[in-house]
Amino acid sequence: MSPAIVSPLGPASFAKAEAVLREALEANGQRYTEQRAAVYRHLLATDSHPTADEVFTAVRSEIPDISLATVYKALETLVGCGLAVKLTYGDGSARYDGRTDPHPHARCLACGAVLDVPGHLPNDALADLGPVADFSVEGYRLELIGYCNTCRT
């Protein structure tokens, strides 16, 4: 663990996160690398749902010689191991979330910012929706769309 990390997470949280990362990588036949660890720590330390470019910019302060390709590969590995969620959109853009529990988001239609929506939906929130013909539902993603305070003005 690098001492250069500045985050709201304390040392105990980082130690636990590193253990979770090592276990998940090993369970999926992947190696632990400092680059993957730095990307994971960044995702855990932010609630801004960053793009790969934003993760790259942030992690470069810790690992100056990391490449954008390495960040993309690290993000996809974390998603594949269940340690991050990739939020994709119809325009081909993607953002990443270190929070893997089911929770709703709000997305700004102007700048693309993604925010966590506080609160929880009851387990039967979708019970009144009918079945979809010729379709097997495996889950759902709730996203509120609108404009953030900055873009609304």
Contact criterion met (CB below 8 Å) for 21 and 32: yes
pLDDT score of 5 more than 60: no
DSSP string over 94-140: EEEES--S---EEEETTT--EEEPPS---TTTTTTSPPPTT------
- C-alpha–C-alpha distance, residues 113 and 101, integer Å: 19
Other CB atoms within 10 Å distance of the CB of residue 50: 22
Percent of the chain with pLDDT over 90: 69
Write the pLDDT tens digit of every residue in 9-46.
Answer: 556 677 899 999 999 999 999 999 999 999 999 999 99
Block residue for tokens 């102007």: 110
End-to-end CA distance of the chain: 42
The token pair at 99 is: 């929070």
Whole-angstrom Cα distance, residue 132 to residue 110?
A: 31
Domains defined for the chain, CATH in brackets: 11-96 (1.10.10.10), 102-153 (3.30.1490.190)
Give me the pLDDT at residue 102, please: 86
User: Over 70: is that where the pLDDT of 6 sits?
Assistant: no
Mean pLDDT on 45-58: 96
With a CB cutoff of 8 Å and minimum separation 6, the contacts of 22 are 32
